[in-house]
Structure 1
Amino acid sequence: MQYFDVCNGDADGLFALHQLRLATPRNAVLITGPKRDNALLARVIASPGDHVTALDLSFDVNRAAVLALLARGVTIDYIDHHVATGLPRHPLLHADIDTAPDVCTSMLVDRRLGGRYRAWAVAAAFGDNLPDAAHRLARLAGIDSGDEASLRELGENVNYAGYGDSTDDLLIDPAALYALLEPYADPLDFVGACPLLATLGRVRREDLELACEQRPAATSASTEVYMLPDERWARRVRGAFANRLSREAPERAHAVLTPTAGGFWTASIRAPLAAPFGADRFCRLFGGAGRAGAAGIGHLPRAAFDAFVAAFRQAYEMSA
């Protein structure tokens, strides 16, 4: 039997996998990539009797690959918090999918493991822009405020490392980052031993400063839309900037767009933190996907910008 670990390359995906492998060490083939690269199950070359663990990846995006693997006789353990429509029933599919807006995949793994490595879930929740959920977990684990602040920095920095439209945009490949954290059972030990994290934090703050110099392209009572330039820093910062905007104006929905080749935009969408619903539903109107509080669109035609802004306003002004 061969094992495959397939996860999103952000803090939530990497820390979810790390918790599982701390609890159950396994010699597995790791498949991961930039945060935007969700269609990872298609890369699994498995045989009958093999086992796949899938973490923090949209089931809807990977549906065809999952069905093909199941038909081949591959067992799949699927843990995720993105919307999954029409989840199939199959004896080889074990799905733990919770789409509540205050849950991330690392929290689902923490739930499965009974809090055994909870500090990693705290860091992941901070990285996934769920500060209230992260704080609740930290209190449950008896983590003091100083260590909680360190876990927040860890989660946000590792999450930032996964942002970008291609590996050329990334500060470090997610597989290489996982190899760095893999020896550490305690995330605070990892923080103390890995100087790269400080570099990630510095670049994240520099990129955010550049983003904060931009003016919104469209605003309304309940929404704000930003168009960032065609630069590596902008592609990296798009999601983190959207998270920052949502924390600073929790009553508003936010969209941050960057241009891509071929006349398209890539968009990061954040529902209002005060009412974190509907981002996934809105993005599906334009071929995107995600979860209720945060979602994205990979190929929004630039000519559709005005229609996008109008639909965005309608979606969130109607719910305001």
Structure 2
Amino acid sequence: MNYDIFNGDADGIIALLQLRLAYPQESVLVTGVKRDINLVKKIDVKPEDSLTILDISMEKNMAALEVALESGAEVFYADHHRCGDIPENENLSAHIDLDANTCTALIIDKLLNGQFHYWAITAAYGDNLIAKADELADTAGLSSEQKSQLKELGILINYNGYGAKIDDLHFDPTDLYQALRQYLSPFDVIEDKASPFYQLQSAYQSDMNHALSIEALHKSEKLALFELPNTAWARRISGVYGNLLANRSPNSSHAVITLNDDDTYTVSLRAPLNNKQGAGEICSSFATGGGREAAAGINALPKEKIAEFIQVVEGKY
């Protein structure tokens, strides 16, 4: 059995999209909301299985990965999050790059020699690697209008991945991937008025208008923190809202905290764009936290830990 295991955000979806456009195969799709990263353990691996794992932390999936490798399954793993000690196993093909200015789709883009380069640029925009995406787009000779189109599409695909559960999302990431797989180029998605682009465009604007009306709960030179309510729109917009704030004030870190049903908070942290390091380290120091240098999160931060979180962030930057 072939399994394609991927993050439900823009980077994970587009990384797999590039691979399967280049190398089509029938596979079982395993994904979820963006924060659902412990995906490998969902599979009952058999020795004859083949696993393609994209854009989820190897460190967070290490136990399940080792079980898969010990069973004799073949594993292709590409990612840019914290990885821990990469296992040495002849059945593992690991392509890990922790550089803060790359993403999984760009790793795949290199492996495919740019075969679907416009899709990779779209993913970079979606993963908030705006400067890198602009650089790649300029090198590719894209116009300002084309760059704006890819940027918007990337952000919208990424926006769709945020939520506490699939029901929060406009599209199940599996369905969104399968819909996008019909298009060789991201420009084809935008040209097709029946594509997911237009539904997401309208929904995104409505959710963002809600978020932009909220005042900062805490603001200093080093950190701006915003609290969003326990609603579906807030869970959907939290990540891309954090990216928007980061781009508006690149010298400051930003945190968006969204209230959960159990009175804890889901946290999205963005390091300052001009100092893209430390976010993963900060969030990993709290239970249920993790991420990468530039962007990270905590799934369930107790209310009484908010002050400590603020202190740690401001101490880092």
- How many angstroms apart in 1 are the aligned matches of 2:108 and 2:196? 26
> Is 1:134 aligned to residue 133 of structure 2?
yes
Q: Which residue of 2 aligns with 1:74?
A: 73
Bigger shift: residues 201-210 or 286-295: 201-210
The equivalences for 1:31-180 within 5 A come to: 31-180=30-179
Q: Measure, in 2, the Cα distance between the counterparts of 1:143 and 1:113.
A: 20
Cα deviation digits, residues 83-112 of structure 1 (max 9, x gap): 112222111111111011110100000011
What are the residue-to-residue correspondences of 1:1-320 with 2, within 5 Å? 2-193=1-192, 194-287=194-287, 288-316=289-317
- What amino acid is aligned across from residue 189 of structure 1 in structure 2? D
Q: Secondary structure at the match of 1:78?
A: strand
Letter in 1 for 2:5: V
Report the Cα distance in structure 1 between the residues aligned to 2:212 and 2:307, rounded to whole angstroms.
23
Q: SS of the counterpart of 1:254?
A: strand
Counterpart Cα distance in 2 of 1:161 and 1:112: 27
Structure 1 ranges of 4+ moved more than 3 A: none
CA contact (8 A) 2:162 2:239 kept: yes
8 Å CA contact 2:189–2:197 kept in 1: the answer is no
Structure 1 counterpart SS, 2:61: helix
Determine the C-alpha separation between the residues in 2 that align with 1:7 and 1:191: 24
CA distance in 2, matches of 1:102, 1:225: 24
Q: How many angstroms apart in 2 are the aligned matches of 1:207 and 1:184? A: 27
What displacement does 1:261 show?
Answer: 2.3
The separation in 1 between residues aligned to 2:187 and 2:44, in whole angstroms, is 35
Q: For residues 101-156 of structure 1, what are the alpha-carbon distances to aligned partners after superposition, in whole Å with 9 as ceiling and x for unaligned?
A: 11010000001111110000010000000111111221232222222211111111
State the superposition RMSD in angstroms. 1.1
> C-alpha separation between the residues in 2 aligned to 1:282 and 1:79?
23
The separation in 1 between residues aligned to 2:292 and 2:305, in whole angstroms, is 22
Question: Cα deviation per residue 1:59-102 (whole Å; 9 max; x = unaligned)?
Answer: 11111110111111111110001011222211111111101111
- Give the residue type in structure 2 aligned to 1:57: I
Shift of 1:283: 0.4
Segments of 5+ residues of structure 2 without an aligned counterpart are: none
Cα separation, 2, equivalents of 1:259 and 1:95: 36
**Deviation per residue, 1:222-262 (Å, 9 max, x gap):** 11111111111111111111000000000000110011122
Deviation at 1:45, TM superposition (A): 2.4
Question: What letter corresponds to residue 217 of structure 2 in structure 1?
Answer: A
1:61 aligns to what SS in structure 2? coil
- In 1, the alpha carbon distance for the partners of 2:278 and 2:234 equals 25
- Range 100-109 or range 210-219, more displaced: 210-219
Q: For 2:28 and 2:290, how far apart are their aligned partners in 1?
A: 26
Question: For residue 292 of structure 1, what is the amino acid of its counterpart?
Answer: E
> Partner amino acid for 2:141?
G
* Structure 1 residue 219: Cα displacement: 1.5
Distance (whole Å) between structure 2 residues aligned to residue 60 and residue 270 of structure 1: 20
Q: Partner of 1:95: helix, strand, or coil?
A: strand
1:241 counterpart letter in structure 2:
Y
Partner Cα distance (2:86, 2:65) in 1: 11
Which secondary structure state, in structure 2, belongs to the residue aligned with residue 25 of structure 1?
coil
Is the contact between residue 128 and residue 243 of structure 2 (CA under 8 Å) also seen in structure 1?
yes
User: Aligned with 2:60: secondary structure?
Assistant: helix
Supply the AA of the counterpart residue of 1:256.
V
Alignment coverage as a number of residue pairs = 315
2-structure distance, mates of 1:238, 1:145: 27
